[in-house]
Amino acid sequence: MTKDNFFYKFNNRYLCPLEKKHLLKLKEWRNAQMEVLRQYRPLTDSDQEKWFTGLKKDKNQVLFALMTGISPKLNFNGYCGITNIDYRNKIGEISFLVNPKRASRKETYKKDFLAALNMICRYSFEELKLNKIFTETFDFRKYHLEILEDFGFCKEGELREQHFDKDKYFNSLIHSVLLSEWKSLKKLCNGKTKK
């Protein structure tokens, strides 16, 4: 960690330590966006406390606060990281969520998500030494899927009728990027956008 208290920076977005003070906002944001998450009931304060305590001990997930702004004045606007890490096979799953207000503004959401993907890839491949990271996305999230593919994630497959909501089944799409692909993607990302 640097003296500025962040791990990575990309386009005025930062990965910082996730802190206890973020729990209330995370609970609110997750409960407001349950339709896009694999969460089937509203979270409580107790749920958040238990999750945060467990997170510190769980070596199979690493989550960060996603901050925006210009250092040192940063605003908490979401979280992201790698979960379900399988160190033997060097695989991890991406987790990403931002404030619903930011998520509702397409251009802001795109900038947040692209920056988060860049920083998560850097962390996963360069620090954790993973070989593959993947994500599962419900098929009705067309814009989210478009951003993933624009970044360079490849569609691996489809889990049919994986999610049931509002009396209807939805498919889940699996996308991934490999370490060998990241080397080229990193050059493209850094060429298009300043670090």
At residue 73, the pLDDT reads: 84
Whether the per-residue pLDDT at 2 is higher than 60: the answer is no
Distances (CA, A) of 116 to 7, 9, 50, 77, 159: 12, 9, 25, 12, 25
Name the pLDDT band for 189 (thresholds 50, 70, 90): confident
Q: So what's the pLDDT on residue 186? A: 84
Question: Taking 90 as the threshold, does the pLDDT of residue 183 lie above it?
Answer: no
pLDDT of residue 4: 55
Sign of the alpha-carbon dihedral angle for 54, 133, 44, 18:
positive
- Statement: residue 53 has pLDDT above 70: yes
Percent of residues, the chain, with pLDDT higher than 70 = 94
CA distance readout (Å), 139 to 22, 36, 143, 170? 29, 10, 10, 7
Is 102 in contact with 66 (CB distance < 8 Å)?
A: no
Q: What is the mean pLDDT of residues 25-36?
A: 88
- 3 pLDDT higher than 60: no
pLDDT at 195: 35
pLDDT tier at 65 (50, 70, 90 boundaries)? very high
77 confidence band (pLDDT: 50, 70, 90): very high
Domain at 8-192: CATH architecture: 3-Layer(aba) Sandwich (3.40)
Position 93 pLDDT exceeds 70: yes
Is the pLDDT score of 194 beyond 60? Answer: no
Q: What percent of the chain has pLDDT over 90?
A: 68
Q: Give the gyration radius of the chain's Cα atoms.
A: 16
Average model confidence (pLDDT) for the chain? 90
Burial letters for 21-36: b for 16+ Cβ neighbours within 10 Å, e otherwise? ebbeebbebbeeeeeb
Residue-wise pLDDT for 116-137, tens only, equals: 999 999 999 999 999 999 999 9
